[in-house]
Amino acid sequence: MTVPEPAGRLLPVHDTHLYVVERGPEDGLPLLVLHGGPGLDHTTFGGYLDALADTYRLVLIDGRAQGRSDRDSDPRSWTLSQHASDVSAVAAAIGVERYAVLGHSYGAFVALQHAVDAPGAAVATVVSSGVPSTSWLSAVEEGLAVFQPEDLREQVRASWEREASVERDEDVLPLFVDQLPWHFADPRDPRIASLAAGLTHLRGSAAVLRATSLEGGGLSIEVADRLAEVAQPVLVLAGRHDRTCVPAASEAMAQALPHGELHVFQDAGHLAYVEVTEEYVGVVRAFLDRVTAP
């Protein structure tokens, strides 16, 4: 199946322009969707969330200096706090005051940072496969040491090592594809191939991937002691078999949030929206329908 080139637009956001793709009714409640990475773009969501567009106005955003967004921003602005500020700026640029946010993986970090920096700015937030502190990521190396099968363990390890030196944007996608077995509950899940095949139009950002990491470069998530400040309802989503953002982190997050709710996908890893798409969309829809109803 041929995957069409994304059709979106550039929006002025602070000191740069961010690329957005919109799906769904113009008068629907906007759901600002934040991709993982860093260094990836909105195409990682493929069409997995499109069922929500029958009611909600999906606004899929390429983060600053990533995807089809302008690459002119100062690298010193590639911080978690700036990414979070960009979320509110996108809402202003599309002319809405009332909106919800869904962030997955690194996008979950951005969504969570936005929730604590601008409590109540979004009417609802969905934190999908995230953590409230980088301390929760300390188990990744231990997990990789026992990850099976061994050939895929070495494939994942080698791809992580190459991130620090990747030079070409076109080399970002192969790194991500090599890491996919780690992110699925079943490392040999046949849907890995279909996901990879659908990423034809992904535009990686080697500069962002090379210059930043989850443990530094201004991208560390450290909001565990600020979760009580979040005013809006927050749905926390986790995969029972997530090896990166372990479900215990989501459980702690949901308990600390004043209006937090938790859903754990029992048959998924880090990419629940791919592994259990129908359940994922159903849970998100039910939450948004309930907490954003007029």
Alpha-carbon span 190 to 84, nearest angstrom:
35
Alpha-carbon span 216 to 219, nearest angstrom:
6
pLDDT at residue 256, as a whole number: 98
Tokens read off for 205: 């950002």
Alpha-carbon span 107 to 264, nearest angstrom:
18
Task: Specify the residue for token string 């930043």.
Answer: 212
Under the banding of pLDDT at 50, 70 and 90, the label for residue 294 is: confident
Under the banding of pLDDT at 50, 70 and 90, the label for residue 6 is: confident
Alpha-carbon span 259 to 256, nearest angstrom:
9
Under the banding of pLDDT at 50, 70 and 90, the label for residue 117 is: very high
Higher pLDDT, 265 or 212: 265
CATH class of 9-291: alpha beta
Counting residues of the chain whose pLDDT is more than 90, the rounded percentage is 91
pLDDT at residue 132, as a whole number: 97
pLDDT at residue 216, as a whole number: 54
What are the residues facing 58 on neighbouring strands?
23, 31
Alpha-carbon span 2 to 257, nearest angstrom:
42
Other beta carbons less than 10 A from residue 26's beta carbon = 8
Alpha-carbon span 19 to 110, nearest angstrom:
17
**Do 194 and 180 contact (CB within 8 A), yes or no?**
no
Q: What average pLDDT does the structure give for the chain?
A: 95
Tokens read off for 271: 């990419």
pLDDT at residue 12, as a whole number: 97
**Do 140 and 242 contact (CB within 8 A), yes or no?**
no
Domain spans, the chain = 9-291
Quick one: how many helices (H) and strands (E) in the chain?
10, 8
The alpha-helical segments, DSSP class H, found in 150-265 are 150-162, 172-183, 191-197, 206-211, 247-256
Higher pLDDT, 165 or 92: 92
Alpha-carbon span 198 to 99, nearest angstrom:
28
Mean pLDDT along residues 89-114:
98
Tokens read off for 74: 């100062």
**Is the confidence at residue 215, as pLDDT, over 80?**
no
Mean pLDDT along residues 164-174:
95
**Range with the poorest average pLDDT among 206-210, 232-236, 283-287:** 206-210
**Do 269 and 233 contact (CB within 8 A), yes or no?**
no
Under the banding of pLDDT at 50, 70 and 90, the label for residue 97 is: very high
**Is the confidence at residue 96, as pLDDT, over 60?**
yes
Q: Tell me which H or E stretch contains 207.
A: helix 206-211
pLDDT at residue 219, as a whole number: 72
**Is the confidence at residue 213, as pLDDT, over 90?**
no
Distance in Å from the first CA to the final CA of the chain: 40
**Is the confidence at residue 218, as pLDDT, over 80?**
no
**Is the confidence at residue 248, as pLDDT, over 90?**
yes
